[in-house]
Amino acid sequence: MSALEPQGRRPRHLTIGRVGVYAFLITAALFFLLPLWIMVVTSLKPMDEIRLGNILALPAAMTIEAWTKAWSSACTGLECNGISVGFWNSVRILIPSVILSIAAGAINGYALSFWRVKGANVMFGVLLLGAFIPYQVFLYPLVRIFSMSGIYNSLTCIVIVHVIFGLPTMTLLFRNYYAGLPIELFKAARIDGGGFWTIFFRVMLPMSTPMLVVATILQTTGIWNDFIFGLTFAGRENLPMTVQLNNIVHSTQGERAYNVDMAATMLAALVPLVVYFVSGRWFVRGIAAGAVKG
């Protein structure tokens, strides 16, 4: 018998505990999947069918007209260019924000784990403290700072904001991950003459794939779903998809087009869903590899 095979007898009858577990899992699945089902089927129905009121039924006359309108011609205020403008704005915000915040967090975590910088624990504590202060506290001071620096309401401004607010979490993740690596690797690299950057790029970074995936998923989801920072710092020309979605839902005049609203919501959620489906198993591996170790 293999050592990996489960030991003991398998239960032949349902017990109260097993029934409770199944009931909880089914309820949890319905809780998360039912709203998704309603959004998908509603987005594929014409308004005549939606008015009948059966929100759970499959569409009798399936159409993607609502998706096309949500993408290219839905009104997001004074303009009716659809949510596509916000999508590409979100992409322009997302890519540099994710790269820079992960790079800064990885370097900070590496320095705090191996180089024993003087006062590192104090700096790390202050950094984490800032992560627990509500974002709203920082809004006005940051608006004033960026206004005086001349970059307020610009792509550069919103990218810097996302990097700043992502730094505590990214530093924590990489610091805990590197703290779980054998110190002998670092010492051997030092004996071989490796400096700060040489060790980081040739030794530590190649071993950080699981944590890089975790950090990418967290930052991609957080930045893509952000609303308040995009509305405050991005400027009218760089409003992200979430702000455009809010404008579509709340700027409708006359009859509300629920199918268009649902289609726009699905389009706004598409990137995080794809990221999770593609990288979900890597996310679990990264968490198990050290994301929650202290």
pLDDT tens for 40-70 read 999 999 988 888 888 888 888 888 999 999 9
Spans of all domains in the chain: 16-63, 84-291
DSSP character string of 191-210 = HTT--HHHHIIIIIGGG-HH
User: pTM for this one?
Assistant: 0.82
Task: Give the least confident one: 32-36, 201-205, 276-280.
Answer: 276-280
First to last CA, the chain: 37
Report the pLDDT value the prediction gives residue 294, as an integer from 0 to 100.
Answer: 44
User: Mind spelling out the 3-state secondary structure of 87-142?
Assistant: HHHHHHHHHHHHHHHHHHHHHHHHHHHHCCCCCHHHHHHHHHHHHCCCCHHHHHHH
Mean pLDDT of the chain: 85
Report the pLDDT value the prediction gives residue 223, as an integer from 0 to 100.
Answer: 94
- When pLDDT is averaged across residues 266-270 and rounded to a whole number, the result is 89
Phi, psi of 238 (to 5 degrees): -125, 25
Please report where in the chains the tokens 């591996």 appear, as a residue: 285
Is the pLDDT higher at 257 or at 286? Answer: 257
Q: Angle at the Cα of 213 (from 210 to 215), degrees rounded to 5?
A: 110
CA-wise closest residue to 63 among 47, 83, 51: 47
Q: Residues 100-138: pLDDT tens digits?
A: 999 999 999 898 888 777 777 787 788 778 778 888 888
For domain 84-291, which architecture applies? Orthogonal Bundle (1.10)
In single-letter form, the type of residue at position 72 comes to: S
Examine the pLDDT at 190 and tell me if it is beyond 60.
yes
Report the pLDDT value the prediction gives residue 213, as an integer from 0 to 100.
Answer: 86
Q: How confident is the model at residue 7 (pLDDT cuts 50, 70, 90)?
A: low
Report the pLDDT value the prediction gives residue 292, as an integer from 0 to 100.
Answer: 44
- When pLDDT is averaged across residues 8-23 and rounded to a whole number, the result is 75
